[in-house]
Amino acid sequence: MSDSVACFEATHGTAPKCAGKDFVNPGSKLLAVEFMPSVAICSTFVTCACGPDGLMRSRPPVQGPGRFNTHRRQAMIQTEMFDLTGKVALLTGASKGMGKAMATGLAEHGAKVMISSRKLDQCEAAAREINDRCGAERAFAMACNAGYKEQLQELVNATKEKLGTIDIVVGNAGINPFYGSMMKIPDDAYDKIMSTNVKSNLWLAQMVIPDMIAKGKGSIMFTSSVGAHGASTTLGAYAISKVAVIGLARNLAAEFGPQGVRVNAICPGLIRTDFAEALWNNPEAEKRAATQIPLRRLGEADDFKGIAVFLGSDASRYITGQALTVCGGSHMRA
């Protein structure tokens, strides 16, 4: 009898079984086992699963710094509702921050993800990090400036050619080149904000929705902002563009819902990202977070992994046309 089976017997009074057969575990020391349908998780973070002959065998642990908890978590969250195995996701603005976190969450749940942003080296670095975390090649990289229609089309074409038709889209690219009064914003800055933040998402939808209609399902999510819920005396054009993103999501949801395509907007609060650093990296912002945000902290990029998986999966199959706010409670709306 192996040490692992002896340990389990001593703890539970019986040898572990799968499909009525004895557990086979060559080598690892099994101190405690949590059983799920066809899956057991060891305290050494060795994942054990039934083979085709019904015997339960151990899989080697994933090595590397910080990998054990990830391995264990992945094993425990593999439920059909959130399973994205076989799905293809395309993301813009995904080489860092929230976009990278959302790409990571989707990949961790089984999707193959195409990461894009303007800088290829950052995209490639993000893809390597995600693949290392997943222990499999699930993330791929391509440079794309979302403000240019031809580059978006090349991104869509390359994704389909390499990974297959697109099931999930995350339109996360966004810019804000102007801070100040609406009376002083130059025409080119206003046009650039509206083109990148709004029009690019419309282009992206036009490029991917036909394939989603053919499949009878698909999920699109656009990054809006809590800035869409109120006025701003210094970020006016940005706020206007984010209101428009919500309007775009709702109209697409209404038009293509009958064909099974869901479209939603995500409205982040103040998040610790490079994009918003000017807003959060100061004592006043920290004080507001500690006293005015109900969860008493600023948001982190990883706070968006869950909502991306939720909206991309069948867990949200009856949700469309919504603006989901992720803000720690700072913007509560009826």
Q: How far is CA 87 from CA 39, 67, 313, in A?
A: 22, 24, 9
Active site residue 179: no
Residue 153 burial by CB count (10 A; 0-12/13-18/19+): exposed, middle or buried?
Answer: middle
Contact 88, 159 (CB under 8 A): yes
From 148, 179, 190, 238, active-site residue: 238
Q: How far is CA 323 from CA 39, 88, 191, 320, 333, in A?
A: 36, 23, 24, 9, 11
Nearest to 222 by CA among 99, 305, 41, 333: 99
Residue type at 89? Answer: A
d(CA 239, CA 225): 8
Structure tokens at 15: 């040898």
Residues 6 or more apart whose Cβ sits within 8 Å of residue 307: 102, 266, 324, 326
CA 129-122-109 angle, 5° bins: 35
Query: Given the structure tokens 């699930």, which residue do they identify?
Result: 138
d(CA 119, CA 151): 13
Pairing between β-strand 112-117 and β-strand 168-171 as defined by DSSP bridges: unpaired
Contact 207, 178 (CB under 8 A): no
Contact 166, 156 (CB under 8 A): yes
Which residues participate in catalysis according to the annotation? 238
